Structure formats: structure tokens, C-alpha cells
Amino acid sequence: MSVIEEVKQRIDIAEVVSQYVKLTKSGRTFRGLCPFHSEKHPSFFIYPERQSWHCFGACNTGGDIFSFIMKKEGIDFGEALRLLAQRAGVSLPSRLEPSAKRDEQERLYQANEAATHYFHNLLLHSSAGEKTQSYVASRGLSLETITSFQLGFSPNSWEALKQYLLERGYTESELLTAGLVIETEAGGTHDRFRNRLMFPIYDIKGRITGFGARALDDSLPKYLNSPQTPIFDKSSSLYGINLAAAAIRQQNMVVMVEGYMDVITAHQNGFNNVVASMGTSVTEKQVSAVKRLTKNMALALDADAAGEEAMLRGVGYENTLDAEVKVIILPSGKDPDDVIKEDAKMWQNLLEEALPVVDYTFDMVTAKLDLTTAGDQRFAVERLGPIVLEIKDPVRYAHYVQKLARLAKVPERTIEATLSKIKTAHRAKEPKLEAIAQALRPVFSSPVEEYCLALLLQHPELKGYRQQPSAEYFQNSENREIFIAWQQASDLSSLKGELDPAIWEHLDYLLTKSLPPNQIEEKYTGTVLRLREGFLRGLATKGEAALALEAELGGTAAELAKLEEQGIEISLQLGEVFSQKSRRVRSKGAEK
Ligand SMILES: [Zn+2]
């Protein structure tokens, strides 16, 4: 399956559109006020079964989720694909990045690299950096550690870094995009990081994607990060991954901590498989990022913060990793940095004693209960049941059903029955998106569209042909993109250049699709007619549905009349298609 198809399958059009338009469900459709023109009465429809949308008002146009996002966000197909892929959790292979974009990103990496160099030098070799140097020394960091993490010092100046980088040929707009400078209200820019200890954040390939920065005075926030940029996404970054990757692979285990200092101290003490989620709780994206290195993960959690919610997330990570997640419980109020510095042996022990997240949750919940009483037994099942239900691995699921049965002192089948009751109650309350998407999964491919495109692409002589489809006949955005590019391009290589690389796979498929050897023009004319017919039929059914709904909801006479008029227009055009078709059949007969 191509990434485009994968995105389409995972995205539910009604769900995405409802973020922009207030939708009301009505039968098998949703409707709302059209986001593309101004109106008082809703004429904008979503058809979940077809995963399409249509405006019967002033726009009188429609399409799939890609065309909706492109129109709504004012972006091109590639950008819409990236946006939706991110939403759908589909990762796009980097080879699909257009080369111009790659070049732009390369510049940002280089700007970050130059900034890192600048900050690092100031920390080690400037008088302004002396205070910071003594701070890191007081935290026990060796020169070797400072160098391997490339720690730095950003001076207390509005322009120092900016000037330094401008002199090296970076433009102000590149520095803005990299998040190194901030736009002021007056329209100028100034350095984002001032008077801070700088932690460059590397990706697994060793490229610097952004920065973390700790205030050295009372400035707030105490920790400041680079903003989201084309190369930095905090929620998928892991601090220290560049230095930890080899150890994670080797030990087949990753330890997740929260802070920069936790990682640095761990590494300085030889615990090299430690990375940080940078302040916030671990995200699914971060878990997916380490999955390529190991399936075994341990989360270092503060005893006070290790709530049930964190536990539930832990189970989610288990499902992502398809392996058990362990928790390292830190002494109350201490972070790994403190623990390791006080007693590295103790950290080692905590690692060895780490418990599987579900077992730990069982311990937490039952610690306060008296499991000889029926009330507490029931309570235990109620609290732990939903967590057990989240476990997707059948073997571990069965294991914890048994464990719960033992704890609550009831037969396993009683637990099973309770769990299935919880499950049903859960389902009824908030239907899982996955289930909705499954139920609404439409047919995504459009054989006629593809056949028509394959003919056009493989037979350049058709370009001059009288009968041409219109771009709107193509309901699939990738087909529409290819058709529009084909109209504009003079040859295949320029056509490819016009297209987003994500579409190349589909283009190659069309270029190599096997076609009948003869009567190409004949087949082409027929295909264009079929496309037109399909387009008009689609309009007609959508229009009928709109009309029925309008009547049902008590639409005004004028609105009903307008819809009806549109319906008549469509059927007239359809009639034209049919007469053309029958003419073709007749002339074929005459040839014989
Ligand atoms: Zn509209």
C-alpha cells in the first residue's frame, strides 16, 4: 500500500472536517456551513461512505480529504499529505521529501551546527561564559562530558548570535525558520536564547535539530526549547539519542528519563542507554522512534508522579513496542541525576528491580486495599480491569486475567465476564475511532480514473486529442494532481518535476500499467465518457441526498428549488453522455 492510500485508510474525513466545520449527523451524511463560501443555511455535505465532501451552494464542488485540506489550509498536495500523515501517524519515507525541501532543511541543520559551535566556544573560552562554566562544574560535569554533549553558553545579548550567523551567510529568514531568532513586534528580530546554558538536541543521525536552554538567573521559563520547526518536533525528539543509540542496541534496552541533566549525568557514569523525553511525559512518537533500536523500555518515574494515568500510557507503549514496559521507581522527590550522583550503585539496583508496568499498577492499586473484603475485591477489578483490557498481547492478557482472578479471589471466568461488560459499556459510551473508520472504510481506488491516466501517460499523442476529461472528474486527489501536471507538462520528466515525490510511486504504477495494444483512441474516448458519467452520477446521487435531507429538515422553498434545478441540470448533462455513448455504439456497429 502506498503512503497516500495508507493515509486515506487511516483518516476519517468526517472527523478531520469537523475540526474546521461544525457538522451535524443526518442519516448517512454529515452537513454543516460551507467553510469555503459564506452562507446561513448549510449546504456543505460529508459522505463518510465515499470519504468525500461536496458543497451544493456557491462552490458546487467537492473532492476527497486531500482536496479539502489543500483548499482549507491553502497548501499544496505534498503539504496536505504531510499534515494528514502526521495526524494519521503514518511516517513518510525521507526519500519522499522534495529536494528543494531537503536543501532548505540542510541549511537549518547547518545554522544549528554553527550556533552550537558558537555557544560551545563561548562556554569554554570566554570570560562571559565563566559563570556558566562554574555552574556546570558545580553540577559535577567533566570537560569530556561538556564536549561530548557540546554544551554551550548563550550570551546576554539581543544580537550576538544573529550577527555571528549573518556574517556566515545565513539569512534572517533562515534564522527565523530555525527558531534561533524571534520576530519582534516592531518587525525586527532578536536572539531567542539569551544568558542560558545551551543543550543542543541531536537526532539519531547526529544532526542538530534544536536546542534546550536553561536560565542562569531568575528568568522564566527556567527551561526554554526551540519552537517547532521544519526539522524540530519536540514530541518526537529524544535528548541524548545520538550518544545512546549504540548502547541501546547493545544492551537491548532503553531507559527513559525526563531531564537533560539526568541524561548527561547517567552517561558520565557509564549508563549510556539513557535518553530524555525533555520535560514532558513520554510520547507515542518517541516510543516509535526507539522501537527501531530495541523493544525493551524502562521508564524512570518519580514515586509521587507515577499515577494510574502514567501506568495506562505505559500499557499503550507496550502495545506500540509489542513488548513489556518496565518502570523504575525513584525515591520520592529525587530525579535520576540526584540518585546517580549520590550513589551509582543504587541506580543500578533500581534498574535491576524495575517492574513490568502492569505489575506495578497492580501493586499500587492493591496496596491500599483489603482484599479479604468483597467490596475491595470488586474495587480492584473495577480499577485494574480497564488496564488489563488495554493489553493487546494475548499471552500477557491471559496472564493478567489470571492474576486479577487470584487477587480478587474469584474464578477467571468471572473476571472475563466482568471485562467483557466493561468493554461493552466502554464501546457504547465512546466508540473507538478505529471501529468507526473500519465501518466506514470505502473503496479508495478508482479504476476508471487510473485507466484514463495510464492511457494519457503512455500515449503522448492523446494530448492533442479533442476529447479531454476535466480535472474535476478525478475524485482522487493524487489522480487529479497527476492529471493537472500532465496538462501543464511538456514531457514525462518535467511532469515528474511538477509532482510531489509522494505521488511518484503512483505515477510509476500508472506508467507501467499494462494496456490493450490497439484501438487506443477508441478506448480513450470511451474512458473519458465513463469518467464524465461517473462524475455526473456522483453529483446526482449527492444532490438527491441533499434534496431529501433539505426537505426533511424543512429547507426553504427557494433552497429546494435551487437544489432541484441543479439536479435537472445534472440529469440533462447525463442524458448528453448517454446519447454520445449510444452514438459510439451505433458507429461501431456501422464499421463492422
Ligand atoms: Zn461552498
For residue range 232-268, what is the model confidence (pLDDT) as tens digits? 988 889 999 999 999 999 999 999 998 899 999 999 9
> Distance from the CA of 554 to the center of ligand 1, in angstroms?
20
Reduced to 3 states (helix: H, G, I; strand: E, B; else coil), residue 224 is strand
Task: Calculate mean pLDDT across residues 147-159.
Answer: 96
> Distance from the CA of 27 to the center of ligand 1, in angstroms?
21
Which residues, including other chains, have CB under 8 Å from residue 17's CB and lie 6 or more apart? 23, 30, 32, 46, 53, 65, 68
Residue 515: its pLDDT value, please? 82
Task: Calculate mean pLDDT across residues 99-115.
Answer: 87
> Distance from the CA of 318 to the center of ligand 1, in angstroms?
45
- 428 or 209, which is more confident? 209
In which band, very low, low, confident or very high, does the pLDDT at 434 lie, cut at 50, 70 and 90? very low
Q: Which H or E element spans position 557?
A: helix 557-591
> Distance from the CA of 92 to the center of ligand 1, in angstroms?
32
Kindly write down the DSSP assignment for every residue of 240-298, as one continuous string: THHHHHHHHHHHT-EEEES-HHHHHHHHHTT-TTEEE-TTS---HHHHHHHHTT-S-EE
Residue 380: its pLDDT value, please? 86
**C-alpha Rg value of the chain to the nearest Å:** 30
Residue 1: its pLDDT value, please? 63
> Distance from the CA of 22 to the center of ligand 1, in angstroms?
14
Helix-strand-coil split of the chain, %, nearest 5: 60, 10, 30
In which band, very low, low, confident or very high, does the pLDDT at 284 lie, cut at 50, 70 and 90? confident
> Distance from the CA of 400 to the center of ligand 1, in angstroms?
53
Q: What residues does 256 pair with on adjacent strands?
A: 275, 299
> Distance from the CA of 195 to the center of ligand 1, in angstroms?
52
> Distance from the CA of 36 to the center of ligand 1, in angstroms?
5
Q: What residues does 199 pair with on adjacent strands?
A: 212
In which band, very low, low, confident or very high, does the pLDDT at 392 lie, cut at 50, 70 and 90? confident
Within 10 A of 105 (CB to CB), how many other CB atoms are there? Answer: 18
Q: What is the mean pLDDT of the chain?
A: 84
CB of 8 within 8 A of CB of 65?
A: yes
> Distance from the CA of 531 to the center of ligand 1, in angstroms?
23
Check pLDDT > 60 for residue 226.
yes
- 553 or 230, which is more confident? 230
Residue 120: its pLDDT value, please? 97
> Distance from the CA of 410 to the center of ligand 1, in angstroms?
60
> Distance from the CA of 54 to the center of ligand 1, in angstroms?
8
> Distance from the CA of 68 to the center of ligand 1, in angstroms?
11
Residue 88: its pLDDT value, please? 85
> Distance from the CA of 30 to the center of ligand 1, in angstroms?
15
- 157 or 57, which is more confident? 157
pLDDT tens for each residue of 413-428:
988 888 888 777 766 5
Residue 543: its pLDDT value, please? 72
Task: Calculate mean pLDDT across residues 91-119.
Answer: 83
In which band, very low, low, confident or very high, does the pLDDT at 138 lie, cut at 50, 70 and 90? very high
> Distance from the CA of 171 to the center of ligand 1, in angstroms?
41
> Distance from the CA of 451 to the center of ligand 1, in angstroms?
30
- 145 or 286, which is more confident? 145
In which band, very low, low, confident or very high, does the pLDDT at 441 lie, cut at 50, 70 and 90? very low
Residue 514: its pLDDT value, please? 82
Q: Strand 189-191 relative to strand 24-26: parallel, antiparallel, unpaired?
A: unpaired
> Distance from the CA of 152 to the center of ligand 1, in angstroms?
53
> Distance from the CA of 476 to the center of ligand 1, in angstroms?
19
Check pLDDT > 90 for residue 37.
no
Residue 438: its pLDDT value, please? 32
CA 525 to each of CA 163, 434, 519, 521, 577: distance values in angstroms, whole numbers, following the listed order: 63, 41, 10, 6, 12
- 100 or 357, which is more confident? 357
Residue 442: its pLDDT value, please? 32
Check pLDDT > 50 for residue 455.
yes
Give Cα 548 distance to the centre of its chain: 37
Check pLDDT > 60 for residue 269.
yes
> Distance from the CA of 60 to the center of ligand 1, in angstroms?
6
Check pLDDT > 70 for residue 405.
yes
> Of 144-153, 229-238, 396-405, 502-511, which range is least confident?
502-511
Residue 437: its pLDDT value, please? 31
> Distance from the CA of 19 to the center of ligand 1, in angstroms?
17
- 270 or 48, which is more confident? 270
Phi/psi for 55 (5° steps) reads -110, 120
In which band, very low, low, confident or very high, does the pLDDT at 175 lie, cut at 50, 70 and 90? very high
> Distance from the CA of 9 to the center of ligand 1, in angstroms?
26
> Of 100-104, 107-111, 175-179, 307-311, which range is least confident?
307-311
> Distance from the CA of 45 to the center of ligand 1, in angstroms?
10
> Distance from the CA of 55 to the center of ligand 1, in angstroms?
5
> Distance from the CA of 56 to the center of ligand 1, in angstroms?
7
pTM above 0.85, yes or no: no
